[in-house]
Amino acid sequence: MAPRRALHFVFKVGNRFRTACFFRDVLGMKILRHEEFEEGCKASCNGPYDGKWSKTMVGFGPEDDHFVAELTYNYGIGHYKLGNDFMGITLASSQAVSNARKLEWPLSEVTEGVFETEAPGGYKFYLQNRSPPQSDPVLKVTLAVSELQKSLNYWSNLLGMKIYEKDEEKQRALLGYADNQCKLELQGIKGTVDHAAAFGRIAFSCPQKELPDLEDLMKRENQKILTPLVSLDTPGKATVQVVILADPDGHEICFVGDEAFRELSKMDPEGNKLLDDAMAADKSDEWFARQNKSKASG
């Protein structure tokens, strides 16, 4: 099997202004690109919504070699109910801890040197108070599973992930496609996994020629395919092919053709400006409200 890459996790956000503050000012990530769409995505990238939406990619470096966040904003929707499916992203950055303290962003130390904080919307992040590794500060994404062994069979045997750690007693396992990539942590919970309305999606890339084979494998194994192989257009950018799957607990998984995705995901130096302009034009956004308030008080 050719190399596969962990790419990003998709968050639905209801408040772009506060969310941008968190990722830019607290975590210290950069806006890598920002794109606006007039109608819903054919692969439900923005969830089950048909209207106007935007996608903002944020990370510590280029998408070629960093795991990043995709911030999906559906115009007119200000809140999404959280489930118990997403358990957090862990990253190593003493600078992020310092930023949070300086900005008085809520932090709580859960173990020595590890701080829990929340992005707007309630998404949990765990900040290790140490220097980041050279490869990427984002270390792992943790997802809840109802049956650890069943999930391991899916992610390792079917999707080809290497198992780095497994702890039966704590019902957790750590998987990944390469030593220097962001890992996927599966954490067993009691009861069922509830995705609610805020459900996210984790994305990986593989050579485009592998996508039909991956889809065929899932059909043979009677696994869920949410969106069969489809081409997705982004105005003025590369067209990519994707297959959207679901694991035994319903976690959404996107596999995208690597070659076209590398073209699509090139960093846009105008990304910051495009996001700020979009927030300024959106009268429901807090950015607009704050700008108007400052003009009125001036």
Mean pLDDT of the 149-170 span: 97
Record the pTM. 0.93
- Under 8 Å between Cβ of 121 and 72: no
- Under 8 Å between Cβ of 251 and 194: no
pLDDT one-digit tens code per residue, 190-245: 999 999 999 999 999 999 999 999 999 999 999 999 999 999 988 788 899 999 99
Looking at the structure of the chain, the number of domains it has is: 1
- Under 8 Å between Cβ of 121 and 12: yes
Q: What is the pLDDT of residue 2?
A: 65
Three-class SS of residue 101?
helix
Spatial neighbors of 103 by CB under 8 A, at least 6 apart, are 25, 26
Q: What is the pLDDT of residue 296?
A: 35
Strand order in the sheet with 201-206: 30-37, 53-59, 68-74, 5-12, 201-206, 252-257, 240-246, 225-232
Host domain of residue 89: 5-297
Beta strand 172-176 with 183-188: parallel, antiparallel or unpaired?
antiparallel
User: Which residues partner with 172 through β-bridges?
Assistant: 167, 187
Q: Is the pLDDT of residue 289 over 50?
A: no
CATH label of the domain that carries residue 109: 3.10.180.10
